[in-house]
Chains A and B, each alone.
Chain A
Amino acid sequence: MRTPLLTCNVNELQHSALPEFAAAGAQRLNDGERLLTLFGRRDESGAGEIVVTAVFAPPGESLAVLRANAQAGEHYPALTANHPSAQIYERELWEQTGLIPDGHPWLKPVRFEGERQQRMADYPFFQVRGQEVHEVGVGPIHAGVIEPGHFRFMCLGEKVHHLEIQLGYQHRGVEALLLRRPPLALAANVESACGDSAVAYAWGYCNAVEALTDTEVTFETEVLRGIALEMERVAMHLATLNGLATDIAFVQGTGTYGRLRTAIINASQRVCGNRFGRGWLRPGRARGITEALRLDLIKTLGDSATDVAGINELMCAALSVKARFHGTGVVSRKTAQDLGLSGLVARASGVAIDTREQLPGRLYAQRPIDSLTEAAGDCWARMVLRMREIDVSIAWILAILNDGAYGLTADHFHRDVLSAPLRPKALCVSLIEGARGPVVQVLETGNQGQLLHYKLQDPSLANWFGLAMAVRDNPISDFPICNKSFDLSYCGNDL
């Protein structure tokens, strides 16, 4: 079965030299495969060797892995030169390992980590010259309660010619931290990598460590995790719609979407103890839904569906909303594909990619969920797609809760999961389609089953560049709504 998970023995993977690896990668991209991630780590032997891993998604099949062994400081021909979708991964590879992709058009640090911490001020921004060109710099601290990031606009009058995004302010060293703690006790750490997507991260983590410890979970546990994830998606989409309404002063939207999100996150809290779904999922188990909670959720979600439809109709009919969002911040289908955008922002530009459909795993294979797209790629499309995804997710959860086919009341807890050894010399790639898109987690173990590497990747990492493209030729005053319509994660990027 196609599963959002790939587990293999690293000894069975072919390891190429870096130039051959790059050529094989370019070939796969030429063949239309999508690059899911590409990263490196210093080898455990510490001999200055670097192991590079790339994961591709061939159309309609399972995942493919390419590996390379490289020497410190080695050069190779950049994939980005012909395939812009590799740009952020090659920048990160260079920043983290020092490997140099020759011909990369813009080798800028992703998050100013390691030796580059606190050296952001030294960075030379792009400069556009001309008598009427001016620059506007905003951040890292912004007007609202929002995470920090710096945006440097190069403008011709009111019009944005280019936006350079500088992130890294939230860098806390999450990946390194995950290697210092017991691998079966990482759930709470993974949940705080990107706290608004705690369920997506926790599920991907649980899938990975369950695969690496040969732990089977029941189908009921997967159903509970699916309910948790779709509730997180509904809550996050409502938060974004709230923000979009606020940013265009559509006041009734602000109040109503805010209230509706509160109802969803409070329902999550009643199930798992936390408004953000923290603690709901753990390796080998998920918190159960009692009969009383099942009826409670049916009522809460049913009422929400009705009220969401009401405010959606109002918002979509308002001339002031149409005037601000239609045709604003357009990302064409081709741009989205070229840049390797993923998740909701890709689907809003007509790119039909959704982990839940392409790699559904046991749960979504048995309980399919409609994956939706919009064609226009503008702020309006990203707004409407969120509205439609909320409807689909609520209907999906309600169908499961109503048909009573699964015993959801059991809280499956196997204490021995906590001490199970990880399979040695294994590589595990785990994907979960969170509210923003695919959360990718790659775990690699060594000879003794110890974790050698824990790669976390938020969909925001690649999608930030989509925002930079979206604002080109738009008035700078439309940046806030473009930014909110993407609603990307800063901490998920910075880690």
Chain B
Amino acid sequence: MHNLFKSISVRKAQGSQFIPDLAAAIPVGFRAKPLISEAPCASECSACQAVCPSRAITLAPVQIDLGRCVLCGDCESACLSEKFSFNSDFKLASTSRESLTLSAAQPSIDPVRVSEALRRRFGRSLKLRSVSAGGCNGCEMEINAWGNVNFDLGRYGIDLVASPRHADGLVLSGPISRNMVSALQTCWDSIPEPKLVIAVGACAISGGVFADCEEVDRRFLETFKPSLYVPGCPTHPLTFINGIMGLLGITG
């Protein structure tokens, strides 16, 4: 009897945790979207490039490739000219790899456009198989959070499934370590057609900080182009959720 009352009191303390409007959520403090100012660079300065761990920055004009950026903010503190700042806009996903490059002249990412074909097939039910191929357990823990009591992605019929045979698509995290090439291919081959790939995190999109490692082999993505690129290091659950809702035309 004591346990029953205890259980009720724990449930009461839990309250209602789910975020009703995932598009309007505010992840306070999240260092998310880079902003690049018009301020001129100090002459011959490349301090931002020197500290950037993933070669995400190019100069003249200053650009940040969100497909590479790990949102560490080290460029912000290294810069002598206050070129960089970050805000908490988590809507960073894109269907186009190219549109992930930001600059003072191009400060925004193209909003994810609805794919009619994907909406018709998967708009009410999308089952995904996650594969970590050299990930660091950052993106993996955030992928696990998609279905938790806060984000509750299952409300839209989007779930992670155990078997690739039950899946409509692959969620790839990690830069694709050579030692995972074979297992990744087997998993992909096991997913029935039609199917899609979603690249989650800087590692999956570009190799991230591991892009230049010879222990990484990214040829899988040359053959199978992602339908959605979801930046971050790790990817914030809200970034993925808003990206996939945009792609499938889910309005909440």
Which A residues lie at the B interface, using CB under 8 A?
111-113, 117-118, 120-121, 140-141, 143-148, 168-173, 176-177, 180-182, 185-189, 191-196, 198, 239, 252, 255-256, 258-259, 262, 266, 269-276, 278-279, 282, 306-307, 310-311, 313-314, 317-318, 413, 415, 418, 489-491, 494
Contacts and interface: CB of A to CB of B under 8 A. Distances in A.
A313 B216 CA distance: 46
B236 interface: yes
4 nearest A-B pairs in the assembled complex, by CB-CB distance: A195-B138, A273-B31, A195-B136, A173-B215
A271 B73 contact: no
Nearest to A167: B179
B181 interface: yes
Contacts of A310: 6, 9-10, 13
A310 B13 CA distance: 9
Nearest to A268: B29
Contact of A117 (B50, B72, B215): B215
Nearest to A276: B138
A279 B31 contact: yes
Given A169-B180, A252-B7, A252-B11, A188 B74 contact: yes
A314 B160 CA distance: 29
A314 B141 CA distance: 25
Given A145-B140, A314-B3, A118 B181 contact: yes
Contacts of B51: 182, 185, 418
Contacts of A489: 137
A143 B233 contact: no
Contacts of A145: 130, 132, 140, 143-144, 160
Nearest to B12: A310
A143 B160 CA distance: 10
A117 B179 CA distance: 6
B112 interface: no
Given A145-B143, A189-B209, A262 B150 contact: yes
Contacts of A121: 182
A188 B209 contact: yes
B86 interface: yes
A262 B27 contact: no
A172 B138 contact: no
Nearest to B210: A172
Given A118-B179, A269-B28, A172 B134 contact: yes
**Interface size of B as a range:** 35 or more
A143 B162 contact: yes
A208 B172 CA distance: 34
A92 B134 CA distance: 19
B180 A148 contact: yes
Contact of A141 (B137, B138, B187): B187
A252 B7 CA distance: 8
A145 B14 CA distance: 25
Contacts of A314: 3, 6-7, 10
29 contacts: A118-B182, A121-B182, A140-B183, A145-B130, A146-B132, A146-B140, A147-B132, A168-B179, A170-B135, A172-B215, A177-B213, A185-B74, A192-B138, A192-B209, A194-B136, A196-B138, A198-B138, A266-B27, A269-B27, A273-B31, A275-B236, A276-B138, A278-B233, A279-B31, A282-B74, A317-B6, A489-B137, A490-B137, A491-B135
B148 interface: yes
A353 B71 CA distance: 36
Contact of A269 (B14, B30, B233): B30
A170 B14 contact: no
A415 B78 CA distance: 7
B179 A171 contact: yes
A171 B133 CA distance: 9
B208 interface: yes
Contacts of B77: 282, 413, 415
A262 B134 contact: no
A413 B74 CA distance: 12
Contact of B134 (A113, A170, A187): A170
A278 to B, nearest CB: 6
B214 interface: yes
A169 B181 CA distance: 9
B53 interface: yes
A491 B162 contact: no
A318 B31 contact: no
A239 B148 CA distance: 12
B136 to A, nearest CB: 3
A148 B183 contact: yes
Contacts of A258: 145, 148-150
A494 B175 CA distance: 14
B29 A192 contact: no
B17 interface: yes
A187 B6 CA distance: 44
Given A145-B132, A310-B10, A491-B135, 20 more contacts: A111-B179, A112-B179, A143-B162, A148-B180, A171-B179, A173-B215, A185-B74, A188-B54, A189-B209, A194-B136, A196-B141, A259-B150, A274-B31, A275-B30, A275-B142, A275-B234, A275-B236, A279-B31, A317-B3, A491-B134
B206 interface: no
B100 interface: no
B234 A148 contact: no
Contacts of B133: 148, 169
B204 interface: no
B63 interface: no
B34 to A, nearest CB: 12
Contacts of A194: 136-137
B79 to A, nearest CB: 10
B137 A252 contact: no
A269 B27 CA distance: 8
A186 B209 CA distance: 10
Nearest to B216: A172
A195 B11 CA distance: 31
B205 interface: no
A113 B150 CA distance: 39
A201 B3 CA distance: 40
A173 B180 contact: no
B141 A239 contact: yes
Interface in B201-230: 203, 208-210, 212-216
Contacts of B74: 185, 187-188, 279, 282
